Structure 1
């Protein structure tokens, strides 16, 4: 008699296929155990078209994250005059790097570890074209561990098989296979199984976009499967289960597992992301004649007759004259002080209610905390500011920035930088095409700058975009190393804050060398999506990270912590229930405007970095198509699951 553990281990290959209803010979061959399925081609031109422009055309791309970089790279290759604008001094968006000081040495810090999966076909193809594949190294396998050992550790390896054989492989790998709890004779379990193996875009969203993952699980999800796989990987979307669309989760799982023939092992960069990926992108764009502008902040966009006419921007001035809105932070606000913003972009209103002070430390960007005596203290490196934001002591050299309150609503304020003698003049750009490739807060701010003729449909799509719960990264330097039997990047389940741990002194060259001559270790903890009410400020995040790190690696209690860095932002794209239909596409109602970013509605399965890159290439393809040029071939995993929902 079959147990409630996974049913397939008792069935032959033929019986499994018969059970699943796979009767078409082509389907059987395509999912053969011995023949690795190949990537699927999306949007291939049937005609042989020219690849490069024969007359000058220009494009302005706003945002130098992965989406903007991919779009700029592709269009600059084809002869377009590309101008890439980035508001930050650090290019790369969420894969940007910057310098931090640890003792007498400098290191590159990032927004958190990024894994490069084999099914990142479009990103990997660009890496091959840039000749940087040797900048990456395989992490060989991937572990998931559980607090208090409620489950045994899970390890994932390259598989080279798609459904159903990747499940068979997983069953053999898993030391928790008897706790999966799947019983396909139970109607609710059968419905779950059909849903996760029958993904079809957009049908999966028609059925499942209306319900959150938390609500869906309550309808009868196998407990073991959820705790072992779905909960850890749901958080890897950087969206919490209670506010994540089930449709989005199902396409995410299809891309990473059920429709993926590459397995779950992945690579990491040998150096920081800026060195390994961003700089090669930038060099290629510039080699092709493209202009890259950092600290370029757009302050006006002119639109007329459903067409962008021009934009203006300021460069190199953190106190820009561009107004922006910030929402009240009810988790920080009290009866005496009102706070606005979140993550590393928090403001406090002064007593006269005419100005706001930025709480972003001018040293390394941590958020300072207001002390009982009115001063401001940086939790990361100890800079102390007086009650007006002037540096009192510590490593910071510049005072906290002040902003003027322009307008005030019930739950938000509009701020503008106070003009200084160093304010920069506006620069104007006119182009044939425009691509907005920012994050969600960025596209919302840009849209407020559009003047004259604004398309109401696009406006409604933009204003309803949401951000996910904030994420946080804590990186720690210790004077001792420790034994670790799991993967160098490991997912962690069951802790209140921590979702993963990365041993940087095993992965990146700069930390490997430091560890060799010091005997120390560099560890990063990542919280993918935490609740602000639980961790309202950065001090509470650092305390929780340290406490949980000592639970995960008890040996470090005997070590000295030499340095700690914190990254804390609220700018990742949200995918809540009922958001799919209204999500903007790459091509907009405005004739020469295109969108790119992981918030854009995608026509094929993809996720995280691959989603960002693919959206940028889709935008480039739209422009290439408009000019009668050959579009780039885009690749993806199997576009639909084996079963039919």
Structure 2
């Protein structure tokens, strides 16, 4: 039995409170140890208004990620004629799924593991309304594992205690509690404690938004607190500490812990996200008269007299004649590159570029010594002109022309544009842009006519975080594992989490039972491109760290591997809060939705996306004199606003 285990049996709740310096706080609040706070209702309607539309109103939603799906769902349910456009062939955005082939087996692949926390009140309400609760399962607990030996694993379990009692529970349960390093006699430590327990909108952002997390913790910060909680949780916001606003981090902590009475354990899906969540929402929209159009590329948005008059799109594959901007990539030095992640382009001459996105499963191919290209994921080969030489790819790499060039970006258009149909115009009463940050910037570039300069400037200031990557591996053996089937990792060069899919999702559980093999996923939340400039670097590092994390797998054969590598997650850098656009815009009939909009209550990740979509729907419902949907949040303010 360890020293910490022996000591923990002697630590009472009163002692733990003294350790954290919150005895007086707990007594002063008069907070019941056994009273679970209820969610807060955001702006409840005081009048009893109609729920359903009694006249014809049309809405066009652009983007079928969680934000767009949630918005379309609510408006369709209320009687609006909704058209939902999605550029990809797969609905769901960052939670989309698609089919892959592994030997003779077919699986659904997705963008990585997603956890559903119990305080995702608005997302949960949609799940309950659709009666799909059985698609989710509790993961019971989850762990944070540390590469270096100075900390023991942290384990988080369900709890129904609000602040400060959740800290007491954490202090009692944590084997590292005496290494937190917080001393409330130290003025800097006291300020940190006040900041993380006293979150308020907009006061917290006014005070802390100009500061990066890295700068905040650089001097006299409780080191253990940072190593154990701040660093792992900051990175799970998909923003690196050197590029994340302290204000946003404090909102993240408030939502996930200090203002959250639900505990930190969470649910996962029994099947892939597309099957478990996206498909039921999409089916509801279609079954209630809504139209969903995949592979729809917007080509023009016409604005006049302070409102949008029409939107034009082409339907077909992604090789349309709609131009788009892409930024230069100076990290790759063996040519003139543009873009990043799995949207990478290489100039072949002064006027033409080649897409390096493999036409098989979307990995980025890598230039070889002979001038050709090789896919690091599944071995497809192309010649220097992008022609397929060896499968599994069936189509050549896409070619584009440079039609305009600025200092660090170029405007491209498909060299051989193909669309299944003519341009189609939509004239709707309301429009919602619910794309990701790059997509939203592109849509505003397409606006013509009377374009509002203020909202356009706000959109162009939106940031994208460092890229993220997911490596999923099929291996020819199983292994023992005492930690949670999803676990956060800290201290590795690349890897931030591990997921044992063969113990979570049905499709992989069945495959593992039949074969005795395993499926393991590693996730890098926000890696630095300078350190891993190519997808070959990512895969090689993931493989090396996998065998370090799970030593039992050393010597195992990797039967198949999948890489997801994108640079499109929302960034929350210092000084971004003030100019972040809100749901309602200066364009009368245009609403915005996505996890990048400024939210009036604390939320994060999937819940932030869903809540923004429902806020956009509520804005339209209010315009039409209908009852708004009740939106829930954790307590919007910290309890120690002193």
TM-score range, shorter chain: over 0.9
1:112 equivalent in structure 2: 112
2:571 equivalent in structure 1: 574
**CA shift at 1:422, angstroms?**
5.2
- Is it true that 1:359 corresponds to 2:356 in the alignment? yes
Equivalent residues in 2 for 1:586-625, closer than 5 Å:
586-625=583-622
Pick closer, same or farther for the CA change 1:529–1:181 going to 2, 3 Å. Answer: same
Q: Deviations over 1:438-473 (max 9, x none)?
A: 000000000000001110110110000010000000
**Matched position secondary structure for 2:587:** coil
**CA shift at 1:637, angstroms?**
0.4
**CA shift at 1:220, angstroms?**
2.2
> Which of 437, 442, 447 pairs up with 1:440?
437
Pick closer, same or farther for the CA change 1:183–1:293 going to 2, 3 Å. Answer: same
Q: Deviations over 1:393-448 (max 9, x none)?
A: 12110000001110111211100012446563101101000000000000000000
Q: Deviations over 1:129-161 (max 9, x none)?
A: 011001000000010000032210110011101
In structure 2, how many angstroms separate the alpha carbons of the residues matched to 1:324 and 1:417?
10
Indicate if the aligned counterparts of 1:439 and 1:573 stay in contact, CA closer than 8 A: yes
Pick closer, same or farther for the CA change 1:560–1:604 going to 2, 3 Å. Answer: same
Q: Deviations over 1:615-635 (max 9, x none)?
A: 000000000000000000000
Root mean square deviation, CA, Å: 1.6
In structure 1, how many angstroms separate the alpha carbons of the residues matched to 2:497 and 2:417?
43
Indicate if the aligned counterparts of 2:61 and 2:82 stay in contact, CA closer than 8 A: yes
1:342 equivalent in structure 2: 340
1:369 equivalent in structure 2: 366
**CA shift at 1:118, angstroms?**
0.3
Indicate if the aligned counterparts of 1:62 and 1:436 stay in contact, CA closer than 8 A: yes
Greater mean alpha carbon deviation, residues 169-178 or residues 601-610 = 169-178
1:250 equivalent in structure 2: 250
Greater mean alpha carbon deviation, residues 415-424 or residues 105-114 = 415-424
Indicate if the aligned counterparts of 2:359 and 2:397 stay in contact, CA closer than 8 A: yes
Q: Which runs of 5+ in 1 are unaligned?
A: none
Q: Deviations over 1:324-357 (max 9, x none)?
A: 01111010134xx100000000000013x11110
Report how many aligned residue pairs link the two structures: 632
Runs (4+) of structure 1 exceeding 3 A deviation are: 6-9, 15-18, 419-424
2:219 equivalent in structure 1: 219
**Matched position secondary structure for 2:178:** helix
Indicate if the aligned counterparts of 1:142 and 1:487 stay in contact, CA closer than 8 A: yes
1:10 equivalent in structure 2: 15
Indicate if the aligned counterparts of 2:320 and 2:419 stay in contact, CA closer than 8 A: no
In structure 2, how many angstroms separate the alpha carbons of the residues matched to 1:507 and 1:152?
25
TM-score (norm 1): 0.96
- Is it true that 1:164 corresponds to 2:161 in the alignment? no
Indicate if the aligned counterparts of 2:159 and 2:261 stay in contact, CA closer than 8 A: yes
**CA shift at 1:177, angstroms?**
1.0
Q: Which runs of 5+ in 2 are unaligned?
A: 1-6
2:185 equivalent in structure 1: 185
**Matched position secondary structure for 1:231:** helix
Greater mean alpha carbon deviation, residues 240-249 or residues 211-220 = 211-220
- Is it true that 1:453 corresponds to 2:450 in the alignment? yes
Pick closer, same or farther for the CA change 1:323–1:10 going to 2, 3 Å. Answer: same
Indicate if the aligned counterparts of 1:7 and 1:182 stay in contact, CA closer than 8 A: no
**CA shift at 1:219, angstroms?**
3.3
Q: Deviations over 1:22-57 (max 9, x none)?
A: 64xxx52xx311111111110110000000011000
**CA shift at 1:554, angstroms?**
1.0
Equivalent residues in 2 for 1:21-420, closer than 5 Å:
23=28, 27-28=29-30, 31-334=31-334, 337-351=335-349, 353-420=350-417
Indicate if the aligned counterparts of 1:621 and 1:632 stay in contact, CA closer than 8 A: yes
**CA shift at 1:316, angstroms?**
1.2
**Matched position secondary structure for 1:558:** coil
**CA shift at 1:86, angstroms?**
0.3
